[in-house]
A = this chain, B = another copy of it.
């Protein structure tokens, strides 16, 4: 079992899927000879051929639309959008087609495609390269939205996404691509979609997050532990369908909930979780549900990016404010 970074785990899962299923084909900009700007597809064109790891013109709409067409025709396309900031021109395809084909044809046509894209800030990339689009995506009926927070999760969830009979948007936090390694077995085992993962057990407060922010959430949980507060950390992992049961079970146990995400707070994905927790776990709550998110503004350019992202210190402070309620 090799120690892999998250990007290596993505690469491994893609290789495994290409190996296992001839219907799997990758398409995207610079994914062939170049192996992707982050190297997610490094070596795959050489190994599986340029028919299966195929460079496209610079045109996101037709990348998404072609993935829809291939999927309907029975293939398993995995399309890469180079950065999340360039996927907005795919929204029409996701909303009006990918998420609807099964419903509008009463199951006659289906759309088992995957759209992968790097998300989030923290690597000081240029403008429009640090977006967090999950709030928009999770509101689209008929698609699934998944984001891994560890190399092993990336491997297992990406395989699940590719095997899923419905369209999945797979959001890969760039900040985690090379941040840490963990052992990943190339056993072809998928992790379940639609399941949240309890990353750390705790009794006093539930910290809910997904993707890269779980790093700071984990650090915050550690600091809180040192200060005598036992935090449970839940990794949402799949935003749609949302595993409300796991979230509610945790909050019912702890009585407090802080949701942390990087996208702006207003109308973000955290609002749905907060609304559900506040409504369904009302009787268990001893404090209002907290949300610590990106400021309600445009993700700033590199120089202020770190100041925009929720830091461990701010998470600790927000959690402690909730602990003050008794």
The chain A residues found within 8 Å of chain B, CB to CB, are: 61, 85, 88-89, 91-92, 95-96, 99-100, 103-104, 127-128, 135-136, 138-139, 141-142, 239-240, 242, 263-264, 266-272, 274-275, 278-280, 282, 285, 288-291, 296-298, 301
Contacts and interface: CB of A to CB of B under 8 A. Distances in A.
A135 B279 CA distance: 20
Contact of A264 (B139, B270, B296): B139
A256 B296 CA distance: 27
A274 B275 CA distance: 5
A89 B91 CA distance: 7
Contacts of A266: 138-139, 141, 240, 242, 272
A129 B280 CA distance: 34
A307 B99 CA distance: 21
A169 to B, nearest CB: 13
Contacts of A264: 139, 141
Given A136-B139, A267-B135, A289 B279 contact: yes
Q: How many copies does the complex hold?
A: 2
Contacts of A263: 139
Nearest to A277: B278
A264 B100 CA distance: 14
Nearest to A131: B95
Nearest to A88: B92
A274 to B, nearest CB: 4
Enumerate the 5 nearest inter-chain pairs by beta-carbon distance, A residue then B residue, closest first: A278-B278, A274-B275, A88-B92, A139-B267, A271-B271
17 contacts: A85-B96, A104-B127, A138-B266, A139-B264, A139-B266, A139-B267, A141-B264, A141-B297, A141-B298, A142-B298, A240-B266, A240-B267, A270-B275, A274-B278, A278-B279, A279-B288, A279-B289
